[in-house]
Structure 1
Amino acid sequence: MQYGLSDEQEMIVSTVRSFVENEIYPHEALVERTGEVPEEIADEIKRKTIELGFYACNFPESVGCAGLNHLEFSLVERELGRGSMALNHFFGRPQNILMACEGEQVERYLMPAVRGEKMDALAMTEPGAGSDVRGMKCAAVRDGGDWVVNGTKHFISGAEHADFIIVFIATGEDQTPKGPKKRITAFLVDRGTPGFTIRDGYKSVSHRGYKNMVLDFDDCRLPDAQVLGEVDGGFEVMNTWLYATRITVAAMSVGRARRAFDYALDYSATREQFGQKIGKFQGVSFQIADMITEIDAADLLTLAAADRLDKGLPANREIASAKLYASEMLARVTDAAIQIHGGMGLMDDYPLERFWRDARVERIWDGTSEIQRHIISRDLLRALGA
């Protein structure tokens, strides 16, 4: 990996950071207070992102997009991480799994998504199947040439705005020496499809306004044309397109940690106690040193993992390490920033208490910290036959 960013990459960073500061920050208090993103604000953010040329920048030039590589896209996500997730959702990064679209699906789903004409969401998690994807009970069975789907998905981010959902559904079961093993298929499901309902989910303390929704399927009929990839090929689609999404969590954690750190650094340099700036006290200055060291380490882990993907190198363990370390680093940094601010850190005069609450979910979604540790240790031990 070449350390240091190119001029073009520096431009990406400064452009997105400026956008977040000017177009996202001003609306954060409203979203935090109401738990909603007004439609006119969402539309304005989307329009300005399209004008900027960054909408669907994670998609290749072959479909009319910016074609950023993994490292460059990580820089975008890092800067977006500084702002409210509820608002930067409309900066527009469709699921790149849509590149698996074929035939009529390209014009019906892929191209409208990258042009900003339709929004998508991704659905895997169920009430009884979170990290255990093969434990999903939402199932589709053949009936008269169609698939009939029954079951429930929950914790589905962005579904309230989605025109269609990419849903992973059990489509069969194989008997193995270790017991039954579900076969999984990805489906494209349009909002308004009979038997398919999107409803409000749970009220979360993390990322207000960035809602999680519940999807209910009640004898919902889907034709073969709605299958994304191959029937029973859901895991292949996941492995091809989705595992890199953990880099997004890592990158956004770094961005949010840097914003929290900036508050702590400024406060340490201006706040006085006992006749001097509190940054002169070792108890504060050492925290500042630890915070920036951890942030830089998480940043480098994340960019190194993205760089491996760009070079076509195996990166599963490196991505897991970045996601694990960055998400846990964010928790420590936001907590330290509040400690430095004292009681004021918990007041809504500062956004630190929001960063603190928001940080908690990062260790859970897109694979818990425990799952990341399992991926890392398995990668190391398997090479030794263990």
Structure 2
Amino acid sequence: MSAQSAGIFLTEDRLAIRDMAREFAMREVLPRANELDPVQGEIPMDLRAQMSELGFFGILIPEEHGGLGLGLSEYAVVVEELSRAWMSVASLIARGQQFTAGFDAAQRERYLPAMARGEFLSAFALSEAEAGSDVANLSCRATPDGDGWRITGQKMWCTFADGADYLQVFARTGPVDPAHRSRGVTCFLMPKERGSLPDGVTGTPVRKIGYHGWKTWELAFDDAWAEEVVGELGKGFRVAMGDLDTARIHTAARAIGLARGALEDSITYAGQRVQFGRPIGENQAIRFTIADMATQIEASRALMYQVCAAVDAGQPSPVQASMVKLVASEMAERVTSEGLQIHGGAGYTTDFPVERYWRDARLTKIFEGTSEIQMRIISDALLGRPDSR
């Protein structure tokens, strides 16, 4: 990190937060990741408890609701540090503070304090087999039943469905309007026991190549009961889109953390690995590669800091959020791949964490909107939307 960026963005308070998160990540998270990720083990509960004690679940939650009341800048700093150790842990803290768009005053009063303590974490049930990037194309349906609703249909890519304390389920409550397909979708809050799925919901874990530490599920809803609506009836699409800027900056921070892990591990490895009688770090090819990796990370981080500062100043920009997500995720795949290459054959084993960074970096180009979706958002802002004829 350059002295200039540290001086401008990393205030004394943010440096203290960063150093605290870094010490925790390297001391507690990284050893668990190295042990559990290769065997697809789950994030331990005691680690979650430590994260709660440090306030990680409440960074963005106002102080009056038990959180730290900090901004996106502090959030991104912590996320980068956790992701440098294990991206899944960096993702876990979003489950208590990133999925609250649409909560009314009563729901905020009731749920935010528990979220800030890490005691009411969510799983987001939005995507379906035919509704990935086309998130308005939902077929899961909710029908009225007395004081509540019965939900029937399929959901895909619901990470943490078993470990969460509630599901946030998006289902169609109105007819499909071909001209405005996002209308008629409602968001439901479905509380459940941690460690199980709700009554009327069955699931199959997705066989992933990465993002281990928790399961990602394909879910089937069969008259599953829900009675609490988040946001307005029929306007759930606004809830789904409400946290996207934060989610995309969160992903940028995760991507930067992964890339930094690959860089730091590569520097260490290049100093230890001896070939032809000298450390490989003395070879110009390796040195230039490491220099390029570091430069790409710094450039992505600088843009992330700029976007975070704008949001915290009350000047959010969905286009800039898409830009930083695009830049950082594409960078992370390149940099982690270079890190694996520096490790040679050793990098293609689970004995070194660099392969984990590489696998997880690939996912950052897909979730929270693919790179192609980000480029569409950016190009539409610059050129206008293309004629639909």
For residues 181 and 279 of structure 2, what CA distance do their matches in structure 1 show?
64
> Any stretches of 5+ residues in structure 2 without a counterpart?
none
Decide which moves more: 200-209 or 294-303: 200-209
For residues 369 and 114 of structure 1, what CA distance do their matches in structure 2 show?
31
For residues 17 and 171 of structure 1, what CA distance do their matches in structure 2 show?
45
Which of the residues 214, 233, 253 maps onto 1:210? 214
Asked if the contact 1:153/1:216 (under 8 Å) is kept, the reply is yes
Alpha-carbon shift at residue 266 of structure 1 (Å): 2.1
- Decide whether aligned partners of structure 1 residues 358 and 77 sit closer, same or farther in structure 2, where only a CA change above 3 A counts: same
- Aligned positions, number: 380
Asked if the contact 2:380/2:386 (under 8 Å) is kept, the reply is no
For residues 257 and 92 of structure 2, what CA distance do their matches in structure 1 show?
18
Question: In the alignment, which residue of structure 1 is the partner of 2:13?
Answer: 8
> Any stretches of 5+ residues in structure 1 without a counterpart?
none
Question: In the alignment, which residue of structure 2 is the partner of 1:315?
Answer: 317
Question: In the alignment, which residue of structure 1 is the partner of 2:41?
Answer: 36
Alpha-carbon shift at residue 15 of structure 1 (Å): 0.3
> Could you report, residue by residue, the CA deviation over 1:75-120 in whole angstroms, capped at 9, with x for unpaired residues?
1111111122444556575143326433653455333222222322
Secondary structure of 1:135's counterpart equals coil
- Decide whether aligned partners of structure 1 residues 166 and 371 sit closer, same or farther in structure 2, where only a CA change above 3 A counts: same
Asked if the contact 1:173/1:181 (under 8 Å) is kept, the reply is no
Question: In the alignment, which residue of structure 2 is the partner of 1:189?
Answer: 190
Alpha-carbon shift at residue 145 of structure 1 (Å): 5.0
- Amino acid of the structure 2 residue aligned with 1:363: K
- Decide whether aligned partners of structure 1 residues 194 and 328 sit closer, same or farther in structure 2, where only a CA change above 3 A counts: closer
> Could you report, residue by residue, the CA deviation over 1:352-371 in whole angstroms, capped at 9, with x for unpaired residues?
12222222211111111110
Decide which moves more: 48-57 or 116-125: 48-57
For residues 213 and 308 of structure 1, what CA distance do their matches in structure 2 show?
35
> Could you report, residue by residue, the CA deviation over 1:125-156 in whole angstroms, capped at 9, with x for unpaired residues?
11121111111111112344532211111111
- Amino acid of the structure 1 residue aligned with 2:214: Y
Asked if the contact 1:250/1:326 (under 8 Å) is kept, the reply is yes
- Amino acid of the structure 1 residue aligned with 2:120: K
- Decide whether aligned partners of structure 1 residues 309 and 194 sit closer, same or farther in structure 2, where only a CA change above 3 A counts: closer
Decide which moves more: 229-238 or 320-329: 229-238
Which of the residues 8, 22, 36 maps onto 1:17? 22
- Decide whether aligned partners of structure 1 residues 306 and 174 sit closer, same or farther in structure 2, where only a CA change above 3 A counts: same
Alpha-carbon shift at residue 272 of structure 1 (Å): 3.0
For residues 117 and 206 of structure 1, what CA distance do their matches in structure 2 show?
26
| Matching of residue 158 in structure 1 with residue 163 in structure 2 | no
Asked if the contact 1:206/1:359 (under 8 Å) is kept, the reply is no
Question: In the alignment, which residue of structure 1 is the partner of 2:226?
Answer: 222
Question: In the alignment, which residue of structure 1 is the partner of 2:329?
Answer: 327
Identity %: 35
- Decide whether aligned partners of structure 1 residues 295 and 103 sit closer, same or farther in structure 2, where only a CA change above 3 A counts: closer
- Using the size of structure 2 for normalisation, the TM-score is 0.89
- Amino acid of the structure 1 residue aligned with 2:187: A
- Using the size of structure 1 for normalisation, the TM-score is 0.90
Alpha-carbon shift at residue 33 of structure 1 (Å): 3.7
Decide which moves more: 293-302 or 236-245: 236-245
Question: In the alignment, which residue of structure 1 is the partner of 2:365?
Answer: 363
For residues 53 and 190 of structure 2, what CA distance do their matches in structure 1 show?
29
For residues 345 and 14 of structure 2, what CA distance do their matches in structure 1 show?
39
Secondary structure of 2:64's counterpart equals helix
- Amino acid of the structure 1 residue aligned with 2:320: E
Which of the residues 246, 249, 255 maps onto 1:247? 249
Secondary structure of 1:291's counterpart equals helix
- Written as runs of structure 1 = structure 2, the 5 A alignment for 1:4-83 is 4-37=9-42, 41-42=44-45, 44-83=46-85
